[in-house]
Amino acid sequence: MSVQDGGRPAVTHYRLRERFAAHSHVDVRLESGRTHQIRVHFAWRRHPLVGDPVYGGRLAVPAAAGDELRACLTGFRRQALCATRLAFAHPASGAALEFSVAVPGDLARLLELLRAHAAGVAGGHD
């Protein structure tokens, strides 16, 4: 999958939630549903997902990252991606359906460590 002139249209909207030293936490909304769309679009913009073995490229580890953050980043064994909300029309009845879940523990822990690192950097210590 890739972004190409003349390729099938795919639209991805995103909003920055948090910015860290070498990473960002974003909300994403799709207008289309192409295979690997989020992963492909963010990699194309040179902002690949943590843990993406196909489109991720070289892992970004922030300068002065502590051992715990470094271990969490290098040990993240899946794409750092979670659909916390999914809404669509039922294919037969047309009824609006919506489902929500909490952020999974591994991703919540990664965000917690990134926040702690950002606070330490801003506060002038590791």
Q: What CATH code is assigned to 12-122?
A: 3.30.2350.10
What distance in Å separates the CA atoms of residue 109 and residue 72, rounded to the nearest whole number?
A: 8
Residue 6's pLDDT is what? 73
| pLDDT tens readout for residues 34-89 | 888 999 999 999 999 999 999 988 899 998 999 999 999 999 999 999 999 999 99
Q: Please classify residue 125 by burial: count the beta carbons closer than 10 Å to its beta carbon, then call 0-12 exposed, 13-18 middle and 19+ buried.
A: exposed
Residue 92's pLDDT is what? 98
Helix, strand, coil % (nearest 5) of the chain?
30, 20, 50
| pLDDT tens readout for residues 1-12 | 667 677 788 899
| pLDDT tens readout for residues 11-37 | 999 999 999 999 999 999 998 888 889
